[in-house]
Amino acid sequence: MSYFTAKTIEKDFETAVTLVTESLKEQGFGILTEINVHDVFKKKLDIDFKKYRILGACNPQFAHQAITTESNIGTMLPCNVLVKEVDEKNTEVVAVNPVSSMQAVEVEGLAEIAGEVKNRLEHAIQSL
């Protein structure tokens, strides 16, 4: 089982970030965190790195279900979605597979929640 789902789209980086955010919203996700890795590497390490953004996506309904099922599952939230520049006209979008990342947690009902989140994340990415 792969720990992620990915798709390369023929869009520039900033357009891709906007499209990904909108597609996730259609699936009930909001963006809680946004880490601009390019800027962090430049500021902290003085390294020029490609455009690379980590979006912390959260579907509040499923997050609530997961946390009430297993209170420590918050260590695995939110679901990370990467937006990575391939070149000026292409961007790769990658989302975590929550089923894969949570398979070590053996709590009844959690796998079903992770499965639904996985389906929605995949739908958001593949519909781009």
Structure tokens of 89?
């006209």
Q: In a 3-state reduction of DSSP, which class is residue 6? A: strand
Note the pLDDT of residue 125: 97
Handedness of CA 9, 57, 78, 100 (dihedral sign): negative
Q: Which of 29-38, 88-97, 102-111 has the lowest mean pLDDT?
A: 102-111
Kindly report, residue by residue over 35-88, the tens digit of the pLDDT: 999 999 999 999 999 999 999 999 999 999 999 999 999 999 999 999 999 999
How high does pLDDT run on average in the chain? Answer: 96
Does the pTM surpass 0.85? The reply is yes
Which architecture characterizes domain 4-126 according to CATH? 2-Layer Sandwich (3.30)
